[in-house]
Chains A and B, each alone.
Chain A
Amino acid sequence: LALTLSSCSFTSNRRTQTRVYIKGKNCEDQCVLQHSNRICVITLAESHPILQNGNTIKSINYQISAGCSRLQNKVSGKSKRGGQFLTELAPLCRITCTEGVEYTIYSCIRGRLLEVNEGILERPELLLEKPSTEGYIAVILPKLEESKTVTNGLLSREEYENILSKRTSSTQQGPKTEPEPC
C-alpha cells in the first residue's frame, strides 16, 4: 500500500478538494477548503494569531449584530432555503482570547451559509487543537453558477507559504520605524 497520507479526513474521499488561503490584516489569515461538490469549509489558517503563542479562548460569539446571529441560520430542503447569504466580508463570528483581543472571522467567499460549528462553542479548545478539521468555523454553499470562480483570487498553498516566509524574513531584518504590513 502506498500510503502518503496526512491527517486530513478527506483523503479517503477520491474526489478532489482544494485548499486556498486568504491573507488577512495583521496576519489574521483564513483558509477555505472546497470540496469537488462545491461545498466550502471555512477555517482559520495555521498562521492566525488565535492559534499562536499558547492562547486560550475566552469566548466565541456568533451574534454578529443586534439583529443577526449565525446560530439562527436554518436551512431546509435540498435547495437549502433559508440560509443566510454571505459575501466575502460578512462576519461569521467574533472570537475573544484571554488577553482581551477580539478577532472577527470572515466568510471570505460568497455563498449561502449552511451551518456554523456549534462544537467550538461547547469546547473552544477544539479550535486550537484541530483548527482544520473539528475546529472549523462554518460550511458555505456557493451558488451553482459561481462554484468554479468562488475561490478565484485566493492564495494557493505555494503562494501562502511565500507570504509566510516573507513575513518571517521581514521580522528577522530587525525593527523598522513603522511595523511592516502583514
Chain B
Amino acid sequence: MMLPLKENDRPIVKKLLEAGCCARCVLRFCFLEVQSAYRQPYEDTAKELLAFINDEETNVTKDSAVQDQLTKDPPSKKIKLDTAKTDVQAEGDSALVPTVTEEGGARLVKSDVCVVCLGVLQEFCDEAYATKVCFFPFHYYNLYLFYSFSPLLCYVQFIITTLSYLKISKGDWLHYDQGIQYQSKVWTHLLIQGRPCCFAFLDCSEKSLILWLNSFEGAHAPNFVLLPFLLFFFRKFPCPPTRPASKCVAQDVQCLHVSVFVAGRYNKFSRTLPQTPWVIDGERRMESSVEELIAAPLLSSFRAKGFNFSSSGREDVDVRTLGNGRPFALELLNPHRARFNKAEIRQLQETINQSSDKIRVRDLQIVNAMGHMKEGEEDKTKSYSALIWTQKAIDKDDITFLEETKELKLAQKTPLRVLHRRPLTVRERVIHTMSTRFLDAHHFHLVLRTQAGTYIKEFVHGDFGRTKPNLCDLLKTDTDILELDVESVDVDWPPPVPE
C-alpha cells in the first residue's frame, strides 16, 4: 500500500531513521493512524519509507546511513543478538557500542534494534510471534495484541520526537504542540505533577536553549524552576539515544480475557445469610454468602480467576428476599471460557439452585454490561412485608388508618447502625402505600410499598427519633420490627428468561 505520508514528513522520516528508529516507530511519529499501514509486513513498510525519502526532486543520492538502517546494503551488518540484555543504554557517558559481525550477502534485515521500541514493534508484531502467543489454554475467537510502553520508553520517545521536530521545523509551533501532546501525559505527570506548562529544551548539538509552550491546556508562562532539572535530564539522556545492543526479550506472557458479565435475579430464603461475606478482623462471622453461592459454579465453569458482585440494592442478613428476586450482575474476571449457549446457562442456573436451599436464582444470562441496575435508583420502588410488635395493646381498628395513608414523606437521618460507614445526612423518602393484617394485641403484619433507599427498620422503631415520622409516632406507642421480607424489587432489568 501507499503510505499516506506528506511532504512535511520527509525530513522527519529521514531524521528518525538516522537516529535509529524502526519503520513502524517512524510511522507513529508521523501520526499515521491508518491501521493497515502497521499491519503490513515490516519489510514492506521499511521499503516504502526508503522509497519515500529517496523520492525527492532535488536529492537523488542515497543517504548511506539511512540505507544501513533499513537494508544493510552496503556494507552488510548484522547486530549480534544478545539475549541477555534488555535495558536501554540511555546513559550518554557510558554508551555501549553494539557488537557487529560481518556476514556476507546483502539482504533486508530487520535485526537492527529500534532505539525507541527496542524491537517491540519489529519482531513482536510478527505473525510468527502472535501464533506462539496463541498456544495458551484459552477459548477465543479473535486475538488482538496491544502494546503499551513503560514510562522509560516514553521518555526515550519524547526525546526522539522533540529532537526531530525542533531540528526540522523550528518555526512550526503546531508541530511542537502535537509532539509534546503525544507524550505529554507521561511527561507532565512525572515532572510537573499534573500541571502542564512550558518546557525548556537543550539542543545538544547546537547548544542553544529553546523554549516552547505546551498548549495542551492553554498557554502558560515559562516555569523557570523546571529548567535546572531539564538541563540535568538532557545531560543524562542524550538525543538521539544510543543504539541498544539487543532487543527486548519477552520474559513472560500473560493472557487476559475481557470480563464476562452474568446477570440474573436472586431470592434469599435464609435469615442467617449475608449478601457478601461477613468478615471482621480477618475472622469470618457468618458462613457463606449470597455472592459466594452464586459465584462458585460460575467460577468453575467459566474458569475465571475472580469475580465482582453487584446488585440492585442489598438486604440485611436477617431479611429474606422473596417474589421475583433482586437483580444482580456478576463480573467474571479473566475467564478462560466465555461462550455458553442458552441450554448451558440454564444448566448452570440449575446447578446453583441445587447447591443450596438458602438461595434461588432465575433469569440467569450473559449480558454485555452491568446494565441499568444502579441508574435511577431513587425512582424505583420496592415492596416489603414486616412483622410488627407494639408495646401498647392494639385492636383491629387502631391500625386501619395506615391503609389510608398514601405518599407518606419521611425524613431519615442516616441510621445509627450504618452511620460508621455512611455520611451523616438526611434522606427524604416516600412510603407510597401500606396495608395491614391484624394478628394479636401486640402484633400485626405490615406490607409497604416504598421508594428505593428507604430504611424500613428505622421507619418502624424510629431510630432514636431520627426518622420522622415513624411508626411509633403514628401509632402512639413504642413499636419494633421482628421480621422483614423484601417482597419485590421493581427494576426491569435483567430481561426475564422464559423457562
Contacts and interface: CB of A to CB of B under 8 A. Distances in A.
Given A114-B419, A141-B420, A9 B389 contact: no
B423 interface: yes
B417 A15 contact: yes
A117 B416 CA distance: 13
Nearest to A15: B417
B421 A35 contact: no
A126 B464 CA distance: 11
A13 B465 contact: no
A2 B464 CA distance: 25
A9 B420 contact: no
A5 interface: yes
Given A37-B417, A39-B416, A9 B424 contact: no
Given A14-B318, A114-B424, A9 B419 contact: no
B300 interface: no
Interface stretch (B50-58, B149-157, B475-483): B475-483
Contacts, number: 72
Interface string B478-491: 10111000000000
Interface string B409-423: 000010011111111
Contacts of B420: 37-39, 141
A11 B317 CA distance: 15
A41 B318 contact: no
Interface in B430-475: 442-443, 457, 460-465
A78 B417 contact: no
A7 interface: yes
A66 B413 CA distance: 29
A142 B421 CA distance: 13
Interface size class on chain A is 20 to 34
B405 interface: no
Given A37-B419, A37-B420, A80-B424, A11 B480 contact: yes
A131 to B, nearest CB: 11
Contact of B464 (A14, A114, A133): A133
Interface string A18-51: 0000000000000000010111010000000000
Contacts of A76: 423-424
A55 B481 CA distance: 33
A56 to B, nearest CB: 20
Interface in A108-138: 114-115, 117, 119, 126, 130, 133-134, 136
Given A1-B482, A35-B416, A39-B416, A9 B421 contact: no
Which of B418, B420, B443 has the most CB atoms of chain A within a 10 A radius of its CB? B420
Nearest to A136: B464
A98 interface: no
A117 B136 CA distance: 64
Interface in A71-103: 75-78, 80
Nearest to B388: A12
Contact of A9 (B317, B318, B422, B462): B462
B355 interface: no
A130 B463 CA distance: 13
B391 interface: yes
Given A76-B423, A114-B424, A139-B416, A119 B465 contact: yes
Which residue of B416, B419, B481 has the most chain A CB atoms within 10 A of its CB atom? B416
A62 B422 CA distance: 25
A32 B12 CA distance: 76
Contacts of A12: 457, 460-461, 480-482
B463 A9 contact: yes
Contact of B422 (A11, A13, A15, A78): A78
Interface string A128-171: 00100110100101000000000000000000000000000000
Interface of A: 1, 3, 5, 7, 9-15, 35, 37-39, 41, 75-78, 80, 114-115, 117, 119, 126, 130, 133-134, 136, 139, 141
Interface of B: 317-318, 389, 391, 413, 416-424, 442-443, 457, 460-465, 478, 480-482
10 contacts: A5-B480, A12-B457, A35-B416, A35-B417, A37-B419, A39-B417, A75-B423, A117-B465, A141-B419, A141-B420
Given A39-B420, A77-B423, A78-B421, 17 more contacts: A1-B443, A3-B442, A7-B478, A9-B462, A9-B463, A12-B460, A12-B461, A35-B416, A35-B417, A39-B419, A76-B423, A76-B424, A78-B422, A114-B419, A115-B413, A115-B424, A141-B419
